[in-house]
Amino acid sequence: MLVELLGLRKLVGPVAVLGLLVTLYLNFMHWNEEVVVLDPIYNDMFVVNKMTMVFNAIILSLAVFLVFMGANFYKDEKKHWSDYLSIYIFAVCGAILMIGSHHLLMTFIGIEILSVSLYVLAGSNRTKVESNEAGMKYFIMGAFASGILLFGMALLFGATGTLHYQKLNTFLLAFNNSTPNTGFLYTGMVLILIGFFFKISAAPFHFWSPDVYQGSPSIVTAFMATIAKIAAVTSLYLLLNQVFVALHELYDILLILICIATICIGNILAIVQTNFKRMMAYSGISHAGFMILGILAVDFNHWHVIAYYTMGYGFANLVGFGVAIPVFKSMKNENVAAFNGLFFKRPILAVALTIALLSMASIPPLAGFWGKYYILSAALSKDLLLIVIIAIINTVLSVYFYFRIFVAMYARKPDNTPIEVSSSYKFLLIILTLILLVISLMPDMIAGCI
Amino acid sequence: MGGDKIYIILLLGLPLLGFLINGLLGKKMPGAVAGIFGSLLIAGSFIVSLLFFLNGSETPVKINLCHWFHIGQWSIDFSFTIDHLSNIMLLIITGVGLLIHIYSIGYMKGDEAYARFFAYLNLFVFFMIFLVTGSNFLLMFIGWEGVGLCSYLLIGFWSDNNAYNLAAKKAFVMNRIGDVGFVLAMFYILQLFGSLEFDMVNAKAVLESMNVRDITIITLLLFFAATGKSAQLPLLTWLPDAMAGPTPVSALIHAATMVTAGIYLVIRNFALFSMAPITMETILWIGVATCLLGAIIGVKQNDIKKVLAYSTVSQLGLLFVALGSDAPVSSFFHLITHAFFKALLFLGAGSVIHAMSGEQDIRKMGGLKKHIPVTYAVFLIGTLAISGIPPFSGFFSKDEILEHVFVHNPLAYGLVQFASLLTVFYMFRLFYLVFHTSYRGTEEAKHHLHESPKVITIPLIILAIFSTIAGAIGLPHYLGAHHWLHDYLGAHIFIPHAEEVAQSTVFMLVGIAVGGAVLVWLLAWVLYTKKNTLPENSESEMNFFSKLVYRKFYLDELYNYLFKLPVNFISKALYFIDSKIIDKAVNLAGLTALSSGDAIRKVQSGKVGLYLFIMTLSVIGLILLQFLLK
């Protein structure tokens, strides 16, 4: 249903927004139906329920704002805007497919739709060497990861004879060590997980993300940091809980290791970065670590915690990049120094970025704080004390690199380069910031109604 | 109750909207637009308050906007209570607030940060409404901090003057000290009662026999918070300094509304307080001491606003005295009348300062009666009201308090009665020195003497009318009247049963108060108009006692020695420890992080081949690990 609608998208901005909004509306049509609605068209391969609706809604609303931001970003190349836009929409399509999927093949197709679109987008600035490099790197490594993922699926299929979530789950629940082909099964599962780790840039499969984030056009980076990451995390969360839940003793340790590595590497490396986008990449890596912790610790019937975390993360990132894009454009510089004296030049931008970064640094009472609070308290109730301590130490560390931006914005002298921002764009940023604030102030209400 | 929800959103939202729009777009607004806009929004809030008042329900209305968050088993809602108590507070805040907004349109005219001023003022009203309507301690605390912030911003409004900045800082710091009490009390309450909702806490305190020791600690902590906000001993010195802010601010924040937040806090939780006799005694005696101290210092001040500031301190002390004597209604009654006449006096003083081209020293005024007749008339009304001369409002409210104190504790009564006679003295001293005798100012200022424009005088006249008639809401029984406020409040808050006082005693007390006041009035008249006494011009002319009083009992200096120096010393010592030991350790940790960051960074060389190699190794590692674990 969603896919068909998106597939027919016309190629102009307003229509795209309208389409996304219509999709959003259609998405909510089934809101009050508690039962799981399986879409018969795809042979049980696609499922719509409250949870997928919520995650779809997050993705779609982020996408709507990204289209607005994109319209501004590509102002100077009107010609290509429609091309880019169609690819964006295509990628969103893939993200939705990943979330709603109920069959591993479908998931794979979703991942590929999303990834291929992003390969193209990452390299879309043909005149810039970095962009070309980013696209190429992303493609090579992404292909590698896809290969691993697909290989894992093949092994799994060999062991179980099915790739359908429900059937796999039934199979695994009845599973014990005497079943043949356990080696295939385990290896398959690990390979699949690794494929996902790559997509959400968890350490040690994160190498692509700083290079690609830095090289890609900023708007694409924003897309990767928000929609792509949220879709992959959600997809992994659903996969683990709907399929591999019977094997959780096995993958728990894996996740714990990956989680610790990701949080630490993300934060420690973020400290030494001078390029804002690179820093955001590492910050995104550490957030991915927290999301993995969420996947690990949050029960399936408390999925709204994950939804809340991703929501807060997504909007804070969007505000962050939303501010960064015009600044970079005017300053012709993507370093932290580009923000010098921003408060004196564009106070609204500076305040919006402050709120976004404070949220990411998880300062109460902002969304980032509540999200982490929920996840950490879930982890505590699962006796994951060690990770919680490591996570908290890292959160404190992370304050350091976020505050470097504040120092630049408020304490450094501004230079004379003006920052050009249209008033409609400012309005967009204010709306985004307000959304972030609303999410922040009403954690229970939002977590409660979804 | 969907309608109520909309009302409360309007009530809170309009001032907030004013803050946002004036704050963000104010610079681009021409002329007085920002002021008029801000006033209109407050008028909107006032109308909403009035609607609540007129359609007031018999029971308190609790409006739950939404659930906020829960931690563990504790849950906090965004809920607001409109009952008779908060409703009257709302009327004062928005009503007096509206008049002061209108006044400021004229008073602040030409100020370069005109819109910013109104933005802050709107924000203040927003937080004040938040404070009085919030239905639990946490929401009240948000308002409590918010008004503190606005007070800070407005005291330091003219930030070019460093002394003003220092005054703002002092107010902020002193309030923070009090806030510690609030926060601790909140934790204690949460722990003891499992809830922060006012109604729950008070009901539980009455129903279940709680440990008196716990209640005493909680109430003492809350009272400590109140001493910060309401400028009681020992946290009173910030209020006189706060007069650095523009005069409308002094009237609204530092006389009529914010400083009464402490009293409101006590009345709101009176059931809790009345269970702790030790706290009540503390409140009584702190109140008496502050009342007396403020009145004595007020006698020797020469700055028109400082006199009024110490008068406010003293009157706030009186309000606490009433609370300590188990008379919350009388306290609230005086709070209402005080809001009117003190706002009137401050705004009148503003009008005088305006006329005198910014001069605030009463030694340089005099004979202003014929130049600014309207201000003169309203100031006279204000002075009569604060002095407790019948039939002005202050008479009724003050007398009621004195009556309760007399029954409760005759010694306290004597001291408070003395303080209120001093009030009469310094107010008339001020009045005569400013408006009567002959002009003592500079020729240049004399040249500019003029009555303020209508936008300033009309709010003054309205306030004067209220200062005169506000006593009607609490007429005493001996006039055969019905004490409306008592019944109105009694429906919704806890009021201890008061002892009956014999009619003859009441008349005696009224006689002493009024007779004394008139005598003191005459004394002031003789001293300052007939004998033309003038305050000493320099400290060297003063004797020891005058000097002591003039220097405010050396309170600032005392605090300087008692707190500031030790704190400075400790902070220096800690700074040493911090910079030499902790910083070194932190830097070491940071250095380790940085160098490990650098080390890992080398791996991140940008070479795809290397990346893939590491990835492959990791894949193999993880698979092996998986098999090992199995």
Instruction: Show the tokens assigned to B399.
Output: 């007398």
CA–CA separation, B151 vs B175, rounded Å?
Answer: 10
Segment B19-24 shows an average pLDDT of 81
Percent of chain B at pLDDT > 90 equals: 9
Residue of A nearest to B70 (CA): A444
Name the least confident of A2-6, A187-191, B196-200. Answer: A2-6
For residue B317, the model assigns a pLDDT of: 92
For residue A362, the model assigns a pLDDT of: 87
**Residue A408 in contact with residue A336, Cβ under 8 Å?**
yes
| Selected residue with higher pLDDT from A362 and B366 | A362
For residue B597, the model assigns a pLDDT of: 66
Minimal Cβ distance to A144: which of B600, B606, B612: B612
Percent of chain B at pLDDT > 70 equals: 89
pLDDT band at B541 (very low <50, low <70, confident <90, very high): low
pLDDT in tens, A208-228: 888 888 888 888 999 999 999
Instruction: Show the tokens assigned to B362.
Output: 């009463």
pLDDT in tens, B224-282: 999 888 888 777 788 888 887 888 888 888 888 888 899 999 998 888 888 888 999 99
CA–CA separation, A26 vs A5, rounded Å?
Answer: 10
pLDDT of residue A230 exceeding 90, the answer is yes
| Residue of B394, B233, B196 lying closest to B317 (CA atoms) | B233
pLDDT in tens, B328-387: 888 999 999 999 999 999 998 988 888 887 778 877 777 777 888 888 889 899 999 988
| Residue of B365, B506, B499, B348 lying closest to B440 (CA atoms) | B365
Contact at CB, B593 and A271, closer than 8 angstroms = yes
Task: Show the CA angle centred on residue B153, arms to residues B151 and B157, nearest 5°.
Answer: 115
Residue type, A437: L
Long-range contacts of B27-30 (CB under 8 A, 24+ apart): B27/B115, B29/B115
pLDDT band at A4 (very low <50, low <70, confident <90, very high): very low
Name the least confident of A231-245, B12-26, B489-503, B509-523. Answer: B489-503
For residue A9, the model assigns a pLDDT of: 41
- The secondary structure of B14-76 as a DSSP string is HHHHHHHHHHHHGGG--TTHHHHHHHHHHHHHHHHHHHHHHT--SS-EEEEEEEEEEETTEEE
pLDDT of residue B557 exceeding 80, the answer is no
Most B CBs within 10 Å: which of A146, A190, A209, A394, as the mutation test of the B interface?
A: A190
How far is B172 from chain A, CA to nearest CA, in Å?
22
pLDDT in tens, B172-217: 888 888 888 899 999 888 888 888 888 888 888 878 777 888 889 9
pLDDT of residue A7 exceeding 50, the answer is no
pLDDT band at A39 (very low <50, low <70, confident <90, very high): low
pLDDT of residue A78 exceeding 80, the answer is no
pLDDT of residue B554 exceeding 80, the answer is no
Q: Give Cα separations from A318 to A68, A180, A310, A421, B186 (angstroms).
A: 11, 48, 12, 16, 37
Burial class (CB in 10 A: 0-12, 13-18, 19+), B592: exposed
Task: Show the CA angle centred on residue B567, arms to residues B564 and B572, nearest 5°.
Answer: 120
Would you call B443 helix, strand, or coil by DSSP?
helix
B207: enclosing H helix or E strand: helix B198-207
| Selected residue with higher pLDDT from B437 and B44 | B44
pLDDT band at B67 (very low <50, low <70, confident <90, very high): confident
Minimal Cβ distance to B622: which of A190, A271, A397: A190
Contact at CB, A207 and B614, closer than 8 angstroms = yes
pLDDT of residue A123 exceeding 70, the answer is yes
Burial class (CB in 10 A: 0-12, 13-18, 19+), A402: buried
Phi then psi for residue B77, to 5 deg, are -110, 155
**Residue B227 in contact with residue B233, Cβ under 8 Å?**
yes
Neighboring chain B residues of A145 at a CB cutoff of 8 Å: 615
For residue A112, the model assigns a pLDDT of: 92
Neighboring chain A residues of B69 at a CB cutoff of 8 Å: 370, 443-444
Residue type, B396: F
pLDDT band at B517 (very low <50, low <70, confident <90, very high): confident
Contact at CB, B611 and A191, closer than 8 angstroms = no
Of the ranges A38-47, A70-79, B327-336, which is most confident?
B327-336
DSSP annotation of B529: I
Name residue B82's beta-bridge partners.
B61
CA–CA separation, B196 vs B215, rounded Å?
Answer: 14
Neighboring chain B residues of A144 at a CB cutoff of 8 Å: 612, 615
Cα torsion B329, B332, B334, B337: sign: negative
Domain count, chain A: 1
With left for phi above 0 and alpha for psi between -120 and 50, is residue B552 left, alpha or beta?
Answer: left
DSSP annotation of B78: E
Exposure pattern of B546-560 as b/e (b: 16+ CB <10 Å)? Answer: eeebbebeebeeebe
For residue A8, the model assigns a pLDDT of: 41
pLDDT of residue A33 exceeding 70, the answer is no
B82: enclosing H helix or E strand: strand B74-82
Contact at CB, A207 and B625, closer than 8 angstroms = no
Contact at CB, A272 and B614, closer than 8 angstroms = no
Domain that holds residue A215: 2-449
For residue A3, the model assigns a pLDDT of: 45
Q: Give Cα separations from B122 to B116, B253, B339, B562 (angstroms).
A: 10, 12, 18, 38
Neighboring chain A residues of B601 at a CB cutoff of 8 Å: 269, 272
Per residue, the 3-state secondary structure of chain A, as one string, reads CHHHHHHCCCCCHHHHHHHHHHHHHHHHHCCCCCCCEECHHHCCCEEECHHHHHHHHHHHHHHHHHHHHHHHHCHHHHHHHHHHHHHHHHHHHHHHHHHHECEHHHHHHHHHHHHHHHHHHHCCCCCCHHHHHHHHHHHHHHHHHHHHHHHHHHHHHHHHCCCEHHHHHHHHHCCCCCCCCHHHHHHHHHHHHHHHHHHCCCCCCCCHHHHHHHHCCHHHHHHHHHHHHHHHHHHHHHHHHHCHHHHHHHHHHHHHHHHHHHHHHHHHHHHCCCEHHHHHHHHHHHHHHHHHHHHHHCCHHHCHHHHHHHHHHHHHHHHHHHHHHHHHHHHCCCEHHHHCCHHHHCHHHHHHHHHHHHHHCCCCCCHHHHHHHHHHHHHHHCCCHHHHHHHHHHHHHHHHHHHHHHHHHHHCCCCCCCCCCCHHHHHHHHHHHHHHHHHHHCHHHHHHHC
Neighboring chain A residues of B600 at a CB cutoff of 8 Å: 265, 268-269
pLDDT of residue B1 exceeding 50, the answer is no
Average pLDDT, chain B: 82
Instruction: Show the tokens assigned to B329.
Output: 């209604």
Percent of chain A at pLDDT > 70 equals: 88
pLDDT of residue B530 exceeding 60, the answer is yes
Minimal Cβ distance to A187: which of B601, B623, B629: B623
| Selected residue with higher pLDDT from B594 and B155 | B155
